[in-house]
């Protein structure tokens, strides 16, 4: 970008945080307050798993081939009616809606542009698809990023899709070559922001701390409404929802300065709120420790500072960056059989006995269906009935039933027979009387691997007319270094006896929490909005205490604690909490969205001074 922009922050607005986010987000961002760049994130790990499962179910052995033509159609529907306004205002649009086929989406968008005779240039980024070389890579060894074990040959042969996470320099390159709309596939989420920020300020590829600052801003806004009050544990004060949290929340905006610091805000007419705590929540989300890895830079997230500057304006600063890892993450998906979930309802007295009887009946039916030891049936009662209930709803609990089996016949038999326990089981047992009582789909599992960035064919292509395209390679990051693990600094905590006088109260009365998922791990960020409670949180919420409060008895699940002192937070990594991956987890709360709220509901001894 021209040097005349050197002191003018780039204003980057999000319009989508996931596939299925509010459809009107792009139109609102284009037509309302001025922005320089729009970014739309459509791809989560779970999204790839769901898409792959659907294609395997429909196309079977041809699923991988058919998936190569898939892109996120909603983006095309969203942007088409806004192209004239985008052109007139000179807004840049960056998205990963290309999914498995960024070229196809780019061509479709260009067709709509040409129909309207608009002077907009389209580019696409590719090189993330590893399927053409995956089996060769697997033969040389692809380590699991969580366990270090190489992908085995049997699983490698079952892989349907494999995509590496790309950095933002392909996006930067496209913008430098005049692109107005840049369509990517699997890039790291924050690349949607680091790419245009580096273009705007003409940063060098080793401007580590500036890139780290943009990475932090991108991480905060890429999930859309999650940093303006959505999924925020501080949504209610005194038991009443904050009035700013309206039916429809807006999308965030990052105003990024040349030094990489940013101000997080939102449109003044949108619902929601941008506070230090709502931004802290998103900063804690999905980080894996003090070192937050990105293909272009490593962010030392424990150095980040967050400060409110005014209503709905929060400054994020102090970012420290260092060279990225030589490796990048690859997500590879493969089918392991079939999965089905349904619900039954138990009501009234003797709930424990009723649930136990139902459990014995369902487990008997599961074995009768031909289930093997590799197949899994999970029966989970949800909730507790009220004492002296005032309605049928108050005396009813839900029983979640989830089955996964290699053979579809097991689930078919189980689905056809379990209704017999309604007349032949506990009194008052009932269910939803639908034709398909237990919908089934292909069960996908994810292998979270690592590949060397140097083997990627990261490319930027500017679409021209009549196949007159400009294709340019994107260089691997300079000075990349092997990642050797997270630091384990352990500040000496104060003795809990330091705080005289405690009261039994829910942890959530003094602490907030936010949960994210990466592969088979859950990350649980906990922080206190009152800095004076920070030393107590460090002393109280140890790794052992976290295991106790969450009821983690499985010794295969590791709990690691990291410190983020500038935001008064602790980051807990629950390694293996989801098993192999969240995508393949069939337990309640597949990717751990409510773990933090469970933790906050636990009653603990809290220093009375913090409650007052």
Residue 496 has pLDDT above 90, yes or no: no
Sheet containing strand 321-322, edge to edge, reads 291-293, 298-300, 321-322
Tokens 């608009």 belong to residue: 118
533-578, pLDDT tens digit by residue?
Answer: 999 999 999 999 999 999 999 999 999 999 999 999 999 999 999 9
pLDDT value at residue 381: 98
Of 374, 383, 380, 386, which Cα lies nearest the Cα of 358?
Answer: 380
CB atoms within 10 A of CB 586: 17
Any idea of the CA torsion for 210, 215, 220, 224, to the nearest 10 degrees?
120
Mean pLDDT of the chain: 95
| Measured torsion, CA atoms of residues 267, 259, 96, 162, in degrees rounded to the nearest 10 | -140
37 CA to centre of own chain? 22
Residue 350 CB coordination number (10 Å):
12
Assess whether pLDDT exceeds 80 at residue 172: yes
Domain ranges of the chain: 3-128+165-325, 337-445, 496-611
Question: Residue 2 pLDDT more than 50?
Answer: no
Q: Whose CA is closest to 93, among 587, 105, 269?
A: 105
Burial 66-105 (b: 16+ CB within 10 A, else e): ebeebbbebbbebbeebbeebeeeebbbbbbbbbbbbbbb
Tokens of 278: 């709502």
| CATH class, range 337-445 | alpha beta
Q: Using N-to-C axis directions, what is the helix angle for 208-221 and 276-284, rounded to 10°?
A: 100
Going 189 to 195 to 198 to 201, the CA torsion angle's sign is negative
Q: For residue range 75-84, what is the model confidence (pLDDT) as tens digits?
A: 999 999 999 9
pLDDT tens-digit readout, 477-491:
889 999 999 998 777
How many Å apart are CA 445 and CA 447, to the nearest integer? Answer: 7
| Structure confidence at residue 4 (pLDDT) | 41
């Amino acid at each position: 970008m021209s040097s005349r922009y050197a002191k003018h922050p780039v204003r980057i607005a999000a319009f989508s945080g996931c596939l299925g986010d509010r459809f009107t987000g792009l139109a609102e961002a284009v037509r309302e307050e001025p922005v320089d760049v729009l970014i739309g994130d459509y791809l989560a790990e779970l999204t790839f798993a769901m898409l792959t499962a659907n294609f395997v179910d429909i196309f079977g052995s041809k699923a991988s081939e058919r998936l190569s033509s898939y892109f996120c159609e909603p983006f095309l529907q969203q942007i088409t009616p806004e192209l004239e306004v985008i052109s007139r205002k000179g807004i840049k649009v960056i998205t990963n809606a290309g999914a498995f086929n960024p070229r196809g989406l780019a061509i479709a968008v260009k067709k709509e542009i040409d129909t309207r005779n608009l002077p907009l240039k389209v580019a696409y980024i590719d090189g993330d698809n590893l399927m053409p070389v995956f089996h060769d890579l697997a033969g040389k060894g692809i380590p699991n990023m969580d366990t270090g074990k190489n992908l085995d040959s049997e699983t490698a042969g079952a892989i349907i899709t494999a995509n590496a996470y790309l950095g933002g320099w392909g996006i930067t390159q496209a913008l430098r070559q005049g692109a107005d709309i840049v369509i990517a596939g699997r890039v790291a989420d924050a690349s949607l922001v680091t790419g245009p920020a580096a273009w705007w300020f003409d940063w060098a590829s080793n401007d580590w701390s500036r890139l780290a600052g943009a990475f932090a801003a991108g991480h905060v806004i890429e999930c859309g409404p999650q940093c303006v009050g959505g999924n925020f544990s501080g949504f209610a004060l005194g038991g009443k929802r904050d009035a700013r949290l309206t039916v429809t929340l807006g999308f965030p905006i990052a105003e990024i300065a040349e030094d990489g610091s940013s101000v997080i805000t939102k449109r003044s007419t949108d619902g929601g709120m941008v506070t230090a705590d709502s931004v802290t929540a998103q900063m804690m989300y999905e980080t894996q420790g003090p070192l937050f890895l990105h293909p272009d830079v490593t962010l030392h997230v424990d150095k980040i500072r967050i400060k409110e500057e005014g209503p709905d304006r929060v400054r994020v600063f102090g970012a420290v960056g260092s060279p990225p890892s030589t490796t990048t993450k690859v997500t590879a998906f493969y089918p392991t059989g079939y999965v089905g979930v349904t619900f039954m309802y138990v009501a009234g007295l003797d709930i424990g006995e009723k649930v136990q009887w139902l459990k014995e009946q369902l487990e008997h039916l599961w074995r009768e269906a031909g289930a093997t030891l590799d197949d899994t049936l999970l029966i989970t009662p949800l909730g507790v009935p009220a004492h002296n209930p005032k309605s049928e709803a108050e005396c009813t609990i839900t029983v979640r039933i989830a089955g996964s089996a290699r053979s579809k016949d097991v689930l078919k038999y189980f689905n056809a027979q379990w209704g017999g326990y309604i007349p032949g089981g506990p009194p008052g047992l009932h269910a939803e009387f639908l034709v398909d009582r237990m919908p089934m789909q292909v069960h996908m599992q994810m292998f979270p691997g690592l590949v060397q960035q140097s083997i990627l064919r990261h490319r930027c292509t500017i679409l021209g007319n009549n196949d007159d395209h400009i294709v340019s390679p994107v260089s691997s990051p300079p000075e990349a270094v092997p990642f050797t693990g997270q630091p384990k600094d352990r500040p000496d905590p104060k003795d809990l006896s330091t705080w005289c006088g405690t009261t039994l109260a829910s942890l959530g009365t003094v602490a907030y929490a936010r949960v994210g998922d990466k592969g088979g791990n859950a990350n649980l960020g906990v922080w206190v909005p009152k800095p004076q409670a920070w030393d107590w949180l460090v002393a109280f919420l140890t790794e052992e205490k976290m295991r106790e409060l969450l009821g983690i008895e499985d010794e295969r699940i590791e709990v690691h604690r990291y410190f983020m002192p500038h935001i008064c937070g602790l980051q807990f990594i629950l390694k293996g909490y989801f098993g192999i991956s969240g995508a393949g987890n069939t337990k309640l709360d597949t990717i751990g969205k409510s773990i933090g709220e469970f933790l906050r509901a636990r009653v603990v001894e809290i220093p009375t001074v913090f409650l007052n």
